[in-house]
Amino acid sequence: MDLSRVPDLEALELLLLVDATGSLGRAAQARGVGQPAVTARVRTMERLVGFPLIQRGPRGSTLTPEGRLVADWARDVLQAAATLDAGIRSLRAERDVRLRVAASLTVAEHLLPTWLVRLAAQRPQTAVSLHAMNSTDVARAVGDGAVDLGFVEGPQVPPGLDSRIVAHDELTVVTHPGHRWARRRHPIEAAELAATRLVQREPSSGTRHALETALRAHAPLAAPLLELSTTSALRAAVAAGAGPAVLSNLAIDDELAAGRLVRVPVTGVDLSRPLRAVWRAGQRPRGPAQDLLAISARPQRGPVGSSR
């Protein structure tokens, strides 16, 4: 389709305005510009189409026969453009009043509630749907366009996504107070941690992946003692004496304070990890998704979950 001789929409609107008012001067007044600017625009349009569109006379300006045909066609074009504009405005309005978010369980349970309260203060009309799932599923939902923004755990950016680190977290080894590790005077070694059968999350979870990555230089992880799909289930299993586990600092404060779990120091391995916001590559978040991204990246109070 060759559109090289088609005037732009503003030029077509000007042509219809001259036809309606019968004068270049009145058309200029209606547009809020000077008559020379309108005259220059008409001449540019006539050079583009290749024939005169307006004929000037002592009583004003009228369209040439060719100009009248172009004007008739222009009405259909402008009506179609108005329909397109209305549709785009509707889609933008829908996007601005809803936000679909997916987050790993750690972020969904311990960070997002505060972020969403702040978002509601900024955008009280925005309806938010939150889907809590493991990091692999979050990345898939974002990549498929099922959600507008995602939050994942781990050192690597999932393929096909752009990201921003919004916070940092620390993984901690915890166990039941009666476990032999709870009575140790010295930290356990990274190799011993890797060789111990732990109560673990499922393989696709961000916590499991972060632990495997951190211990890769020491030894492969031993087979899980138990494999559970939620952080709360892990906490309950460890508190019941099933065995040690590695959990986010964000998830264990209450249990440590109540004495249901005991923190076990580890040496020789870095168990810190970044928490990331993710979105489809090349599609920077807009509207409420952009606002939530900005909120999540603000420094948080306290050492746990704070950006640094």
pTM as predicted: 0.65
Confidence band for 4, pLDDT divided at 50, 70 and 90: confident
Residue 77 belongs to a domain: yes
Residue 302 belongs to a domain: no
Q: Indicate the number of domains in the chain.
A: 2
pLDDT of residue 95: 59
For residue 303, pLDDT over 90 is answered with no
Residue 256 belongs to a domain: yes
pLDDT of residue 82: 83
Residue ending a domain, among 95, 120, 152, is 95
Q: Do residues 208 and 140 both lie within one domain? A: yes
Residue ending a domain, among 42, 75, 95, is 95
151-195: pLDDT as tens digits? 998 777 888 999 999 999 999 999 999 999 999 889 999 999 999
Q: Do residues 29 and 149 both lie within one domain? A: no
Residue 193 belongs to a domain: yes
Counting Cα atoms < 13 Å in the Cβ hemisphere of 154 gives 24
Q: Do residues 72 and 124 both lie within one domain? A: no
For residues 273-300, average pLDDT: 91
Task: For residue 305, give the 3-state DSSP assignment.
Answer: coil
Q: Do residues 146 and 257 both lie within one domain? A: yes
Residue 126 belongs to a domain: yes
Confidence band for 6, pLDDT divided at 50, 70 and 90: confident
Residue ending a domain, among 95, 125, 159, is 95
Q: Do residues 83 and 124 both lie within one domain? A: no
Inter-residue contact 91 to 104 (CB < 8 Å): no
Q: Which residue has tokens 């309108």?
A: 38
Q: Do residues 76 and 111 both lie within one domain? A: no
Q: Do residues 227 and 137 both lie within one domain? A: yes
Q: Do residues 162 and 47 both lie within one domain? A: no
Q: What is the DSSP string of 122-151?
A: H-TT-EEEEEE--HHHHHHHHHTTSSSEEE
Q: How far apart are CA 80 and CA 37, in angstroms?
A: 27
Residue 54 belongs to a domain: yes
Which DSSP helix (H) or strand (E) runs through 233? helix 231-239
Domain assignment of residue 73, given as a range: 9-95
Residue 222 belongs to a domain: yes
- What is the three-state SS of 46-99? HHHHCCCCEEEECCEEEECHHHHHHHHHHHHHHHHHHHHHHHHHHHHHHHHHEE
Q: Do residues 209 and 134 both lie within one domain? A: yes
For residue 131, the domain's CATH number is 3.40.190.290
